[in-house]
Structure 1
Amino acid sequence: MPQPDISVNDTDFHADPYSYYARLRAAGPVHHVEVSASEYAPTLLVVGYEEARQALNHPGLSKDWRSSAVLPGIAATAANSNMLETDPPQHTRLRRLVAREFTTRRVQAMRPRVQQITDELLDGMAARPERSADLVKALAFPLPITVIGELLGVPHLDRERFSYWSKEVLAPTSVTPSTTAHQTLSEYLAELVDAKAKDPGEDLLSALIRTSDEDGDALSATELIGMAFLLLIAGHETTVNLISNGTRALLAHPDQLADLRADYDGLLDGAIEEMLRYDGPVQNSTYRYAREDMEIGGTAVPAGATVLISLAGADRDPGRYENPDAFDIRRAPQGHLAFGHGLHFCIGAPLARMEGAIAFRGLLERFPDLAEDPAGDPPSWIGGSLIRGVTRLPVRW
């Protein structure tokens, strides 16, 4: 069976990657796939649920591309000094220092402000005389970028430039591996970190600058840049696409939407988990690299191979979920992999869930006749194999 090149902008694949993953999964849980950037070859794609859980937490798979030979000639930047691109013991150290400050209490303290930002954005939508908007531009993007910016203490983030750099990091327009966007972002974030060090506040970035553990260990200047990079990008991109993908799923399933409107208190939290499972914001994990010969799902993975784990494919595995291609807000989707699994489970998951709950309830209560706008442009999919979502979502009410 011909394999899709999941690294390029194939419209059919982006519109429905799940049918591709289903055909692969029917033939086995792990497959060799094509990736345009030849430096990544050979690449194996994991599409089975149990095999994905195993791979996500496999000690023989490294996240630190700098210690591998897969990207020769590519120089690391300060932005790469983050938890997502490190392995234990360095990952353990970084996560411990961040977890001291990125606490549930700090996230929950943001709830009134998240509600206020959401209400203001919905007020702006309601004031539009044409009774239509691009939901990504009107709500899904400005809400999480404002929240993470204020949480980190950079409320005046240059959103337009940052959004462009973020997209180049997560969905690069070139198939040739490059750290240009990382370098530009590193320089920008270095200025932010320096300014925050000189004028600290009660925000998360200031706290990360101050924090140290019992042994006096603290984040270095380079690690602070890497942490700001990870929190800013991961802290807004996932929530943007949770909101837009979740809205698309609800509007495409009016019976489910009606049930949710009838019982927000009983169904909203579960509905968000189903949105994450059914069409989550991260389609595939970032790359892992085999340190040694191993086997995953009965497939040999040679040392030096690149492994890509399909969170989207795993979360539609019929071996894990009954009728997985159905969107069912009453499902019990616990154990989905939308936020990863194991050592690299998303530290910002509670914030994303909280923002999603406030955004969906506010949107659906404010606009009871919300629908996709038939006069809008057709979907424009985010490129690449990492992020799952659309660049715009025309709606009307």
Structure 2
Amino acid sequence: MTTADERVETYPFNKPEGLELSPRYREAREAPGMIKVRLPFGEPAWLATRYEDVRLVLGDRRFSRAAAAAHDEPRSQPYRRPGGILAMDPPDHTRLRVLVASAFTVRRVEKLRPWVREIAGRLVDDMVAAGGPVDLVDSFALPLPVQVICELLGVPAEDRDRFRVWSDALLSTSSLTEQEFGQNHAELRAYMGELVEQRRAEPRDDLMSALIAARADNVDRLTELELVDLCVGVLVAGHETTATQIPNFVHVLLSHPERFAELVAEPARAPEVVEELLRFVPLGAGAAFSRYATEDVEVGGVLVRAGEPVLVSVGSANHDGDRFPDPDELKFDRTETSHLGFGHGVHHCLGAPLARLELQEALLVLAVRLPGLREAAEPEWKTQMLVRGPRRMMVDW
């Protein structure tokens, strides 16, 4: 068992442009123990890269997200991001999560499928009417999840340009100053606070009204700030990742034309296509949201001491050959589909059923309506963001 490693490597490994997984992850998976890495700011951390190690750290209650507040947490920017539900441990995390969970059950989300398919179809209608080439991000990938989450939460979809700026700022790893970051966060909080007040005066059949009612029923369950931040979190998480993964998935499929041809020939395979792409595409520029050991824990042959942070690379875990045979091949007929694309444990993505549905319907309508889809130019990639993906992706058909 290893207790220390003198080498501390500069992190993250992945390049922001493109979706390739750095070969350094394979080297780390195949080496004994774990490696230590240092992000631009904060203390060094252990890096878990193998599937079983990542799953252990995400699922074991001996690792705490909340403990990061008492440490110099590893991070890509000089300031600390607002914590919210992602920085909580049970029971506080559970208290907030259960209030939202009922809106995103598989059964309830599945009832939205015809509506989501209709939105996706209308967006493709508009693309065809405009004529190619068009930007898939602005014309399709962004408005689809924005319309859905805005309708569910109760946020005006016409405000998307406003909260897209705020959302980008919250996910940025750029040289935004702490003051600039704080201003964007404060503006988004103020915007959401105004909407909360409107819904409190005039409740509707949406998630925001339901959360307001839950707070009114028992004031100890949800503070006003928790209510606002929970709505902010649902809004940002409810559209940003899906809006990024749609063009990511299309880019990968068009880079593997034989795989796209399979989907075009059998659009009903969209669910299994989405699962394989969730495994295959390493979304993050690097691991984030460190977990701190609350006691000594052995991970991957390394003794992680109490108070030490561990970063987990989901992208690396999903390419672990010990779990997924031929991990670097895109294969839609895999029998092993237990990827970690939506995380694991108490912080498993709350909106996973909705994200799956949106991704399935997006790929299905594109394959059916635009079987000749192709990239008209190299994508313009996001940079200095927590997630990787095209900021602009021109396509034709």
**TM class, shorter-chain normalised?**
0.7 to 0.9
User: What whole-Å deviation, never above 9, does each CA across 1:275-308 have from its counterpart, x for those lacking one?
Assistant: 1000054463523233344332122333333322
Alpha-carbon offset, residue 125 of structure 1: 0.9
Matched, 1:194 2:200: no
Number of residue pairs the alignment of both structures matches: 385
Kept in 2: contact 1:294–1:300 (CA 8 A): yes
Aligned pairs for 1:220-259 (under 5 A) are 220-259=223-262
The whole-number CA distance in structure 2 between the counterparts of 1:312 and 1:70 is 24
Farther-moved stretch of structure 1 (167-176 vs 207-216) = 207-216
Alpha-carbon offset, residue 371 of structure 1: 0.9
Matched, 1:321 2:324: yes
Alpha-carbon offset, residue 319 of structure 1: 0.8
User: What whole-Å deviation, never above 9, does each CA across 1:5-33 have from its counterpart, x for those lacking one?
Assistant: 318x9557x55234231122222462211
Kept in 1: contact 2:293–2:308 (CA 8 A): yes
Farther-moved stretch of structure 1 (57-66 vs 158-167) = 57-66
Aligned pairs for 1:257-336 (under 5 A) are 257-265=260-268, 267-282=269-284, 284-336=287-339
SS in 1 for 2:12: coil
The one-letter code sitting in structure 2 at the alignment partner of 1:372 is: E
Q: 1:76 to 1:281 in 2, by over 3 A?
A: closer
SS in 1 for 2:298: strand
Alpha-carbon offset, residue 215 of structure 1: 7.7
The one-letter code sitting in structure 1 at the alignment partner of 2:23 is: S
Q: 1:280 to 1:5 in 2, by over 3 A?
A: closer
Matched, 1:103 2:110: no
Percent identity between matched residues is 38
The whole-number CA distance in structure 2 between the counterparts of 1:29 and 1:268 is 38
Q: 1:207 to 1:304 in 2, by over 3 A?
A: same
Alpha-carbon offset, residue 367 of structure 1: 0.9
User: What whole-Å deviation, never above 9, does each CA across 1:115-148 have from its counterpart, x for those lacking one?
Assistant: 222112111111123x211211111111111110
The one-letter code sitting in structure 2 at the alignment partner of 1:345 is: H
The whole-number CA distance in structure 1 between the counterparts of 2:215 and 2:104 is 13
Farther-moved stretch of structure 1 (284-293 vs 85-94) = 284-293
The whole-number CA distance in structure 2 between the counterparts of 1:61 and 1:69 is 14
The whole-number CA distance in structure 2 between the counterparts of 1:191 and 1:298 is 51
Q: 1:157 to 1:22 in 2, by over 3 A?
A: farther
The whole-number CA distance in structure 2 between the counterparts of 1:156 and 1:175 is 27
Matched, 1:85 2:87: yes
Q: 1:252 to 1:377 in 2, by over 3 A?
A: closer
Farther-moved stretch of structure 1 (67-76 vs 111-120) = 67-76
Partner of 1:114: 116
CA RMSD of aligned residues (A): 2.8
Alpha-carbon offset, residue 216 of structure 1: 8.0
The whole-number CA distance in structure 2 between the counterparts of 1:245 and 1:276 is 10
Partner of 1:173: 174
Alpha-carbon offset, residue 226 of structure 1: 1.7
Alpha-carbon offset, residue 2 of structure 1: 8.3
Alpha-carbon offset, residue 223 of structure 1: 1.5
Q: 1:176 to 1:328 in 2, by over 3 A?
A: farther
User: What whole-Å deviation, never above 9, does each CA across 1:194-239 have from its counterpart, x for those lacking one?
Assistant: 2221111001111121137998864221121121121111111121
Partner of 1:183: 186
Q: 1:382 to 1:332 in 2, by over 3 A?
A: farther
Farther-moved stretch of structure 1 (65-74 vs 40-49) = 65-74
Aligned pairs for 1:30-49 (under 5 A) are 30-37=34-41, 40-49=42-51
Partner of 2:145: 144
SS in 2 for 1:211: helix
The whole-number CA distance in structure 2 between the counterparts of 1:317 and 1:57 is 18
The one-letter code sitting in structure 1 at the alignment partner of 2:330 is: F
Kept in 2: contact 1:140–1:241 (CA 8 A): yes
Partner of 1:388: 388
Unaligned runs of 5+ in 2: 1-6
Kept in 1: contact 2:28–2:35 (CA 8 A): yes
Matched, 1:347 2:318: no
Unaligned runs of 5+ in 1: none
Q: 1:307 to 1:55 in 2, by over 3 A?
A: same
Partner of 1:134: 135
TM-score of the pair, normalised by structure 2: 0.88
Kept in 1: contact 2:278–2:341 (CA 8 A): yes
The whole-number CA distance in structure 2 between the counterparts of 1:274 and 1:325 is 11
TM-score of the pair, normalised by structure 1: 0.88
Kept in 1: contact 2:192–2:231 (CA 8 A): yes
Kept in 2: contact 1:101–1:208 (CA 8 A): no
Partner of 2:3: none
Q: 1:11 to 1:172 in 2, by over 3 A?
A: closer
